[in-house]
Amino acid sequence: MRDLQLTAASRKSVPDAGEEVSLLSAYDEENSSNLRRLQVRVTGMTCAACSNSVESALMSLNGIVKASVALLQNKADVSFDPSLLKDEDIINAIEDAGFEAEILPDPSTTCSKPRGTLIGQFTIGGMTCASCVNSVEGALRKQPGVKKVAVALATSLGEVEYDPSVISKDDIISEIEDAGFEASFVQSNEQGKLLLGVTGIASEMDIQLLEGILCNLKGVRQFYFDRMSDDLEIHFDPELLGSRTIVDEIENGSYGRLKLLVKNPYTRMASKDLEESSNTFRLFTASFFLSVPILFMRVICPRIPLLYSLLLWRCGPFQMGDWLKWGLVSVVQFVVGKRFYVAAGRALRNGSTNMDVLVVLGTSASYFYSVCALLYGAITGFWSPTYFETSAMLITFVLFGKYLESFAKGKTSDAIKKLVELAPATATLLIKDKDGQVVGEREIDALLIQPGDILKVLPGTKLPADGLVVWGSSYVNESMVTGESAPVLKEVNSSVIGGTINLHGSLHIEANKVGSNTVLSQIISLVETAQMSKAPIQKFADFVASIFVPTVVTLALFTLLGWYLSGVLGAYPKEWLPENGNYFVFSLMFAISVVVIACPCALGLATPTAIMVATGVGANNGVLIKGGDALERAQKIKYVIFDKTGTLTQGKATVTTAKVFSGMDRGEFLKLVASAEAASEHPLAKSILEYARHFHFFDEPSAAKDAQNHGLDSKSYRWLLDALDFSALPGQGVQCFIGGKKILVGNRKLMTENCIAIPDHVENFVVELEESANTGVLVAYDNNLIGVLGIADPLKREAAFVIEGLVKMGVNPVMVTGDNYRAARAVAREVGITDVRAEVMPAGKADVVRSLQKGGSVVGMVGDGINDSPALAAADVGMAIGAGTDIAIEAADYVLMKSSLEDVITAIDLSRKTFSRIRWNYVFAMGYNVIAIPVAAGVLFPGLKIRLPPWVAGACMALSSVSVVCSSLLLRRYRKPRLTTILQITVE
């Protein structure tokens, strides 16, 4: 898992290997580096119609490129052009739509840039044509420290990737101005954001002191202090300031009067979710305890003469029971139920309808009818039945359903909570003097760690950040990332991952990745982004929800008119009417039941709840999923393409044989080959070098460690010969001069192009190697072929079983490789793959993917290297081995964190189980409405006298949402399939 970078990349093409990977792509709709991404917390949404209203309001703004609203998380994910819109415009649009909005901490910036670089955005004035763009880009590219430049004429914006240690943003502005244009800095992709809790604020003077310190602190861009919660939010320039510097300056500047506590943004968001759930529960309990007396008066009191006589006692124009019911229900209707009126009013002002509108219609109809019946009876003496209990029970059941939804939704985010809990809370910072000597220690918050900090890690504690070991040795438990239970030895120069556990010895580590750049933070960001994503199947649900409420209101009106006119025309007897009732009251109860029971909440929850649970379950099983669309495609996979090296094999090549075909001594032969390969970085070269070293120094066990720490200059490699004019020939091998004679190490093509004859007995030996899954490496010296090396890359132990398991699941495995066909065929035979595509270049792997897609088949690709990236991006579902390269991981839809092929089966199986659950969710959501609406409308009443009173309809409505959420929660019981089960192997 070295230098692992996880990115929530969208579906995009990745250039072929050898082609420059543009980090600052051209200005386009979704992946433009000129766009800004913002996440907003939206409060007040209750159903899919609400989320559609928010999306519509956002998309109507000029400058919005993409807006996705997640009902379940109460969040909106917005991509927009910052030159056309401000954050405040987005907030205002959401609030105008009738909801509350709050900007959340910036999502992790994901990029594949080298460590230590920033991407700055600049406004450039005075450009009039493409020639101006070229002038600016040309001027900046010449500057040292500038990595990439992209300038957009249409928006007058430029983005520059640069090394802040070499060139500053002020220097960039000066260069643009020297080129004849105006320039100003807009923002950095790593603009820091810090959330602090402040203690010690006792008066207005303390607030002014805090503001004065921040105003005088160079690098602070903006800040906001919440006087209600004493929270301080600071945006700052990471080029000029570090988070720890800000905290120290405030505490020192206030002479210790103000103390600061760093707040984790994920913890803050979780506390808000808990607060919302608690508030809903309080409203439910209040409504419940007010409704119980009403039901008691309606059901129990008539059976108790004394109590019933008290209720019948007339007090003014009404009976005492009427006064009590009216008073209790009024509190429930307008105090407890105020939130429904507010939300319904917002929706109607925005020209939309949602669940709140249905609730308000149903409860208001029963409440105001009951009030009118009382007043009519007081005036005329003709007393009609009242239905106050209907209104109260409806609100109670709706609140109960909302509480269970919020409780269940909290359960679906357990994966993120568990990941957040893995992060250490504090760290021990070593303080050094100017000579580099440790002069003290300081306990700091882990969120205040800065790159370059030297941190002390004691046995049994969590590593506070990603970094390198600079002192000490110990074993570290990395199972939380890699899934491997065996501890890993960490010594000087070893990479470590924040959140993993140091088991034995003490370590000093140098932090090199902090904040959103750590592996753990990127995993959290990836899981959160995936949970917010929408699967294509949800578009249908969103469409239905958008027309659902008007349709239901129309059905309710038809129900009311149908029953009323039928009664007036004598289509049914008066005996059906309630005591002292009339046709209108009889019809109204059916209409209210239709309005209440038909709620679109369950429909809107069917897909996102299942996706949230699935992504969390996947993360717990080492399979990171980048979105609901990836889940939907994965369940339809027909072909899975495997790269060979590093995917099916272990990626650790070893020399299996060395045969000399000249009179040269084997030791001299290996010395020549090792000397030629010493300057190469190819994995095969390293295996040859190690094999030769062991041949010469097999009695020096410390040599490997010495070489690792000191490189080839160590004593264990001084036996190598001097190689001159070294050159690596891609796809062929290497060549150089040793002792004035040319040496070639490579494949047949290299020998043929240099006119080196390959005798038949040598060719036969190489063919034998290839047919036994070895790669034959030929060696020529002074224009004569002198020997052959056989190199093998062992298969992963689970490879053959996984391939057999996929076949039994109905998935066709295919192997692609750049190796020769004989070696590839031999490997394929061992694992059981019949479809082999060998000797393909990196671009050819993508061509294989496209050829399989032509028939409409869904194709998955499993790979680990940069050369696999085009195929991973071209495939319908890309699966990157977790120990692979950053670019491969970015191009994929799934990341197999444990680097185990068994997780390919897990990924496909989980996606199938998830969409099976989503289909069941739609059955629950639609089944309630398809069956219950006709019953609520009274279809069964004429023949069977079966009807649904409004309060029973309210209970059914609440249960529909709860059943969908609970159905999704069943995915939490998912267990990854065992190969023994798939292969039907009996283990004795």
CATH number of 36-104: 3.30.70.100
Q: Is the dihedral of CA 838, 839, 841, 842 positive or negative?
A: positive
Partners of residue 488 on adjacent β-strands = 476
Q: What is the pLDDT of residue 744?
A: 93
Amino acid at 960: S
Closest-CA residue to 145 (of 167, 123, 128)? 167
Q: How far is CA 610 from CA 16, 413, 416, 958, in A?
A: 36, 11, 15, 19
CA distance 524 to 267: 12
pLDDT band at 130 (very low <50, low <70, confident <90, very high): very low
- The answer to whether residue 967 scores a pLDDT higher than 60 is yes
Per-residue pLDDT of 48-65, as tens digits, reads: 667 778 888 888 888 888
CA distance 284 to 282: 5
- The answer to whether residue 843 scores a pLDDT higher than 70 is no
Q: Give the mean model confidence (pLDDT) for residues 387-402.
A: 77
Q: What is the pLDDT of residue 666?
A: 87
Per-residue pLDDT of 863-902, as tens digits, reads: 875 567 778 878 888 888 865 545 556 667 788 877 788 8
Query: Which range, 669-683, 705-719, 951-965, is most confident?
Result: 669-683
Q: Give the mean model confidence (pLDDT) for residues 307-318.
A: 78
Q: What is the pLDDT of residue 737?
A: 92
Q: Give the mean model confidence (pLDDT) for residues 239-256.
A: 83
> Residue 457 in contact with residue 507, Cβ under 8 Å?
yes
Q: Exposed, middle or buried: residue 50 (CB in 10 Å: 0-12, 13-18, 19+)? A: buried
Q: Give the mean model confidence (pLDDT) for residues 777-798.
A: 89
User: DSSP string spanning 217-249?
Assistant: STTEEEEEEETTTTEEEEEE-TTT--HHHHHHH
**Domain 619-649+796-910 adopts which CATH fold?**
Rossmann fold (3.40.50)
Higher model confidence: residue 954 or residue 642?
642
Task: Out of 106, 466, 542, 643, pick the active-site residue.
Answer: 643
Class of domain 435-517: mainly beta
Q: What is the pLDDT of residue 33?
A: 47
Q: Give the mean model confidence (pLDDT) for residues 161-171.
A: 81
pLDDT band at 707 (very low <50, low <70, confident <90, very high): very low
pLDDT band at 974 (very low <50, low <70, confident <90, very high): confident
CA distance 385 to 376: 11
First vs last Cα of the chain: how many Å apart? Answer: 35
SS3 774: coil
CA distance 625 to 906: 12
- The answer to whether residue 988 scores a pLDDT higher than 60 is no
Q: Give the mean model confidence (pLDDT) for residues 338-354.
A: 72
Q: How far is CA 504 from CA 422, 425, 465, 472, 972, in A?
A: 19, 20, 18, 11, 34
- The answer to whether residue 392 scores a pLDDT higher than 90 is no
Whether the domain at 36-104 and the domain at 112-263 fall into the same CATH topology: yes
- The answer to whether residue 129 scores a pLDDT higher than 70 is no
> 476-502: string of b/e by CB count within 10 Å (b at 16+)?
bbbbbbbbeeebbebeeebbbbbbbbb
Q: What angle do CA 958, 940, 295 make, to 5 degrees?
A: 45
Query: Which range, 150-154, 204-208, 268-272, is most confident?
Result: 204-208
Q: What is the pLDDT of residue 30?
A: 38
Share the mean pLDDT of the chain: 77
pLDDT band at 73 (very low <50, low <70, confident <90, very high): low
SS3 455: strand
Q: What is the pLDDT of residue 894?
A: 83
Q: What's the half-sphere exposure (Cβ side, CA atoms, 13 Å) at 125?
A: 5
Per-residue pLDDT of 150-161, as tens digits, reads: 775 444 667 788
- The answer to whether residue 474 scores a pLDDT higher than 80 is yes
| Catalytic site includes residue 231 | no
> Residue 837 in contact with residue 816, Cβ under 8 Å?
yes
> Residue 790 in contact with residue 808, Cβ under 8 Å?
no
Higher model confidence: residue 716 or residue 12?
716
Place of tokens 């006298």: 945
Query: Which range, 30-39, 430-439, 441-450, is most confident?
Result: 441-450
Percent of the chain with pLDDT over 90: 5
pLDDT band at 745 (very low <50, low <70, confident <90, very high): very high
Percent of the chain with pLDDT over 70: 77
Q: Give the mean model confidence (pLDDT) for residues 325-343.
A: 86
Q: What is the pTM of this model?
A: 0.62
Higher model confidence: residue 449 or residue 44?
449
Q: At what angle do helices 265-295 and 320-331 cross, to 10 degrees?
A: 170
Neighbours of 857 (CB within 10 A): 13
SS3 488: strand
Structural domain spans, the chain: 36-104, 112-263, 272-423, 435-517, 619-649+796-910, 654-697+720-792
> Residue 377 in contact with residue 384, Cβ under 8 Å?
yes
> Residue 613 in contact with residue 969, Cβ under 8 Å?
yes
Place of tokens 């996984």: 802
- The answer to whether residue 728 scores a pLDDT higher than 50 is yes
Q: Give the mean model confidence (pLDDT) for residues 199-210.
A: 85
**Domain 654-697+720-792 adopts which CATH fold?**
Calcium-transporting ATPase, cytoplasmic domain N (3.40.1110)
CATH number of 112-263: 3.30.70.100
CA distance 485 to 480: 9
Q: What is the pLDDT of residue 580?
A: 66
- The answer to whether residue 479 scores a pLDDT higher than 50 is yes
- The answer to whether residue 237 scores a pLDDT higher than 80 is no
